Amino acid sequence: MTTILYHDPQVTIYKELIAINKYYFPLATSRHIFMSEIERVTLFSSEGVTHRWGMCAKYMNNWFPYDSSRKNKKSFI
């Protein structure tokens, strides 16, 4: 891999891909998404999102990786 452009406990961003940490349940392995596969990026309000890991009834088409501090966040991508 190349140089890390951004890193925090939930995600690592490289020039050619994004690694989402603790994505798959129950093993907490990461998921890699190539930049070429991304069609768009949208910011959503996290109001009504209570799950720390998995699907939420409000956003059924989205899978949330593990994030113990999600309840304190106001938005997600």
Count of Cβ atoms closer than 10 Å to residue 33 Cβ: 13
pLDDT score for 56? 58
pLDDT score for 36? 95
How is the chain split among helix, strand and coil, in percent rounded to 5?
A: 10, 45, 45
pLDDT score for 4? 93
Q: Is the pTM of this model over 0.85?
A: no
Tens-digit pLDDT string for the chain (77 aa) = 578 999 988 889 999 999 988 777 777 788 899 999 999 988 877 776 655 555 555 555 566 667 776 667 777 77
pLDDT score for 1? 54
pLDDT score for 7? 92
